Amino acid sequence: MVSVAILGAAGGIGQPLSLLMKLNAGVTKLHLYDIVNVPGVAADISHVATNAEVQSFLGAGQLAAAVTKIDLAIIPAGVPRKPGMTRDDLFKINAGIVKTLVEAIAAHSPQAFIAVISNPVNSTVPIAAEVLKAKGVFDPRRLFGVTTLDVVRASRFARDLRPGVDAAALRVPVVGGHSGTTIVPLLSLASTRLGLSDEETEELTTRIQFGGDEVVKAKDGAGSATLSMAYAGARFADSLIRAINGDAVVEPAFIALAADPDGAKEVRGLGAGDLDYFAVPVELGPQGVQRIAQLGGAPTAFERKAIAVAAEALAANIKTGAAFVAGA
Ligand code: NAD
Ligand code: LMR
């Protein structure tokens, strides 16, 4: 039974995510925080006939209360992309937002699990980690960049190519980060053999890497993925809540590799080099990251090459995030 705060709850992701968390039987308290419109969202969601108690917190003056006595903070606060933008273009605004929110969590619920959705995840997670380190409360097992949407897309897009596949059951490990070529699906290690040709592998890999752009283009200036992201965020949160309650659950996340030094050695061997953060499938437990899950085989030469490309871009993204806090 956990208390959950959603920071950015009135947004495109925040609203459906708040609704899905209200439906989660493991949630006892739901704190909805935003700088606009959140009283209406909270009043609306509070009428849903489940046992979770919903409370609204509006504006910076109520941030401390919003993150007091919470077990899990989910952060979808910040601006989304418009056509022509990269996720890195969001850094200027979202870096400061994430920093402020994590400072408040560190002060009022230092043990809370934190799931960061705000982009660019490759940089906002290092920002969150540096803030927690500066406050002396960093536990790498409890901080996650949410990359569930990448595996959700991988499963669904694989079905577009192989209609016999059950998209809901298929699991494709996706490693690296969460933007463009830093997203590396390991299609050869999918839970169901897909039997893809080299050409199909290349096409499907590119589609998964740039799946977010499909939505940004289709929304044509009205934002990026919100509904599929709310589904993915709720799935991640539900997995974490089940793990806190003792179930063995595997979900992907962009984590600090310090969370599992043994598992990290294997990840470094894949091509992550000396990176401090990487998206990996994670075995979740009561304390968060229990261990980095086994991939179940060796990536192909094509996948290893893609990991090397990802690692180079990730190094820069991680550095930018960490430097933001150091220089702030
Ligand atoms: P949105 O603009 O619809 O909603 C963002 C919400 O954040 C708004 O309600 C806004 O008022 C709120 N907000 C802004 N500043 C805040 C602050 N200081 N404190 C609290 N709340 C604040 O955007 P969205 O479509 O919901 O996207 C939110 C973020 O999620 C974007 O950065 C987007 O790129 C990212 N995203 C990540 C993934 C992923 O896979 N990790 C997927 C989709 C979107
Ligand atoms: C996504 O993958 O849909 C998100 O990161 C939003 C985006 O900017 O594409």
| Tokens 């704190």, located at residue | 31
Q: Could you say which ligand is closest to the alpha carbon of residue 16?
A: 1
Residue type, 93: I
Determine contact, residues 14/117, Cβ cutoff 8 Å: no
306 pLDDT above the threshold of 90:
yes
Ligand 1: centre distance to CA 296 (Å): 35
Of the pLDDT bands very low, low, confident and very high (cuts 50, 70, 90), residue 272 is confident
Q: From residue 220, give the alpha-carbon distance in Å to each of 11, 216, 227.
A: 17, 6, 16
The model's pLDDT over 132-147, given as tens digits with 9 standing for 90+, comes to 999 999 999 999 999 9
Of the pLDDT bands very low, low, confident and very high (cuts 50, 70, 90), residue 50 is very high
Cα 266 to Cα 262: distance, rounded to the nearest angstrom: 7
Distance between first and last Cα of the chain: 37
| Tokens 């992309």, located at residue | 81
- The pLDDT of residue 151 is 98
Of the pLDDT bands very low, low, confident and very high (cuts 50, 70, 90), residue 282 is very high
Of the pLDDT bands very low, low, confident and very high (cuts 50, 70, 90), residue 123 is very high
- The pLDDT of residue 80 is 97
Round the CA-based radius of gyration of the chain to a whole number and report it.
19
Which H or E element spans position 307?
helix 301-327
Average pLDDT score over residue span 277-297: 97
Average pLDDT score over residue span 80-86: 95
Any ligand 2 atom below 6 A from CB of 119: yes
Report percent pLDDT > 70 for the chain.
100
The phi and psi torsions of 56 (rounded to 5 degrees) equal: -100, 140
Any ligand 1 atom below 6 A from CB of 34: yes
- The pLDDT of residue 327 is 86
The answer to whether 178 is a known catalytic residue is: yes
The phi and psi torsions of 278 (rounded to 5 degrees) equal: -160, 145
Instruction: Say which DSSP state 245 is in.
Output: T
23 pLDDT above the threshold of 90:
yes
- The pLDDT of residue 231 is 98
- The pLDDT of residue 328 is 63
Ligand 1: centre distance to CA 309 (Å): 28
Any ligand 2 atom below 6 A from CB of 149: yes
Q: Decide the pairing of beta strands 277-285 and 288-292.
A: antiparallel
Show the tokens assigned to 11: 């947004």
Mean pLDDT of the chain: 97
Q: Could you say which ligand is closest to the alpha carbon of residue 35?
A: 1
Cα 10 to Cα 17: distance, rounded to the nearest angstrom: 10
Look up the pTM and report it.
0.98
227 pLDDT above the threshold of 90:
yes
182 pLDDT above the threshold of 90:
yes
3-state secondary structure of 283: strand
Q: Whose CA is nearest to atom 2 of ligand 2?
A: 212
Average pLDDT score over residue span 55-80: 98
Show the tokens assigned to 179: 């933007």
Any ligand 2 atom below 6 A from CB of 215: yes
- The pLDDT of residue 1 is 87
DSSP code string of 99-143:
HHHHHHHHHH-TT-EEEE-SS-HHHHHHHHHHHHHHTT---GGGE
